[in-house]
Amino acid sequence: MKLLDAILLGIVEGITEFLPVSSTGHLILTSALLRLSNTEFLKTFEIAIQLGAILSVVVLYARSLIKDPKSIRRVFVAFLPTAAIGFVAYKAVKQYLLGNQPVVVAALFIGGIILILFEMRNRKELRGGATEISYRQAFLIGVFQSISMIPGVSRSAATIIGGLSLGLDRKTIVEFSFLLAIPTMAAATGLDILKNASSFSMAEFELLATGFIVSFLVALVCIKWLLRYIQNHSFISFGIYRIGVALVYWFVLR
């Protein structure tokens, strides 16, 4: 991997992390287009730079989180299912799913269809803030999120569909998805680096830092854009985009 590759992947991560299009899937497909070898370092890189994007949430929401411990407790409850399932499935996911292009393409395509159909059927919305999410709803959202361990599913899409199906409004579930990403990606990155850091060179750590910083800066802009976008738009366009990416990659680029 070269410095330019790290920058490009950081940009892709920053743009896609909070959109329901699968940042992991986009990183895997982008890495394939850049003809990067599917090494252990690349797999760790694709996990770790996601934390850079997630830290943008900390910057933007730190003050409100400090003032709202109820949301923190609900985020913790939602994190539990993903933490338990992720700890058990970590080795299998990294060995067999990360870097698996057919899995990513299939997940993008099927997820796009599900997102479109769900939005077409889901018209009733309830209004409320993240503090009004019950502990039961929070736990179930966490269960939905655990599905996103399959590359291409999208953590954002899974939590958003889960929240909407439980009766939450778009802004509430999108912001809760932002917050839930903090412990989820911190744990995933910490676990992966703990297991693999000793095998990386200083040059590889510099590439990690580059992708991390770029994804953080780009995500700051994208979060604000998404919050404005959902005020007047559904997620159908993202479903169409997912299907389009899957078809283009499968029939043209692979």
Tell whether the model's pLDDT for residue 12 goes beyond 90.
Answer: yes
pLDDT of residue 129: 46
pLDDT in tens, 161-187: 888 888 888 888 888 888 888 888 788
Alpha helices in the chain (DSSP H): 3-16, 23-33, 40-67, 69-92, 101-121, 135-146, 155-165, 170-196, 202-229, 236-248
pLDDT in tens, 92-132: 777 777 767 888 899 999 999 999 988 887 655 444 444 47
Which range marks the domain in which residue 92 is found?
Answer: 3-253
Tell whether the model's pLDDT for residue 230 goes beyond 50.
Answer: yes
CA angle at 12 for the pair 11 and 17, rounded to the nearest 5°: 105
Domain count, the chain: 1
Tell whether the model's pLDDT for residue 217 goes beyond 90.
Answer: yes
pLDDT in tens, 38-93: 888 888 888 888 888 888 888 888 777 777 778 888 889 999 988 888 778 777 77
The CA distance from 130 to 98, in Å, is 32
pLDDT in tens, 134-149: 899 999 999 998 888 8
